Structure 1
């Protein structure tokens, strides 16, 4: 069970998952960091049985509607994804010669790591995933609409299909987005 008491009971059913950067730091305003997320999700699709039904990466959090094949547990895939991306993004920030927020972000991730005995040095992601099993069509539709409307709501785009860092283009546009979508 996670620190906050959230548990994925059915490891192979479709879940709505949300997790955020500690202190809601706006990391994903830089393409280099969002590319790490996209590439990692692709890797999980190709190598860990991850099925992405919908997704949306915002400036400081990600929403996913996902499941896995029968060989892989969803909680294991999420654990590995969060661990890999946190290490990779922090390393990228530390090694950056152009990141204007470098010292501030590293300080926040270090303080968060010090406050959590489950980390060695840094903490990038908040601990919880807030999984919600999508066991009805009504809940599924509610979550997929919420996920895709998120960038519209905050004023990044006018329509869901226009936000590059989501599956909105797959659902509302006439193109394929950045990730392969397993439509339900």
Structure 2
């Protein structure tokens, strides 16, 4: 992996994106979205994750994050590992999920192609962290992140999307407490 896409200093702000394997639209049901949100909260409360912005789309997530307390790479690894295990279990147990067999087959197929997995692979391995070293870059990535649901046609205004920090930035209650980028 190139040095360009590595977290060098956990205390700096990073824009991070990661997606499900094959861009599978898992996050179309509140049950699955809430697993992701709960995992973010857990990492905030117990691992030192500092969240400045976030957005969960149907098949990927964007975060602007840092950490004073821990290695940010390890927090991301743990977040992805925990959400993968919990979401796969939820898929296996959800008899009402119309796409259950297909999704599990796709995750298992991806898992067989990766020697690091025992059965399934849920997330793509890369995170592509980009250090946000300037105010202009921070504003640009924050705007991009919050505009994602608008560009996708889910909402007309960023703050109307439930699974995003755009609500916080608009002065509305959000699902996750965030630190603000000036």
Q: What is residue 29 of structure 2 aligned with on the other side?
A: 30
Matching of residue 132 in structure 1 with residue 136 in structure 2: no
* Residues 4 and 130, structure 2, Cα contact 8 Å, conserved in 1: no
- Runs of 4+ residues deviating >6 angstroms: none
CA deviation string 1:138-159 (max 9, x = no partner) = 1101100000000000110000
Structure-1 separation of matches of 2:5 and 2:90 = 30
Alignment of 1:53-64 (within 5 A): 53-64=52-63
Unaligned runs of 5+ in 1: none
Structure-2 separation of matches of 1:168 and 1:100 = 31
What's the CA shift for 1:120?
A: 1.0
TM-score (norm 2): 0.96
* Residues 44 and 50, structure 2, Cα contact 8 Å, conserved in 1: yes
Unaligned runs of 5+ in 2: none
What's the CA shift for 1:118?
A: 1.2
Aligned length: 181
Match among 72, 80, 83 for residue 78 of structure 2: 80
TM-score (norm 1): 0.95
Structure-2 separation of matches of 1:147 and 1:135 = 17
Computed over aligned residues only, the root mean square deviation of the Cα atoms, in angstroms, reads: 1.4
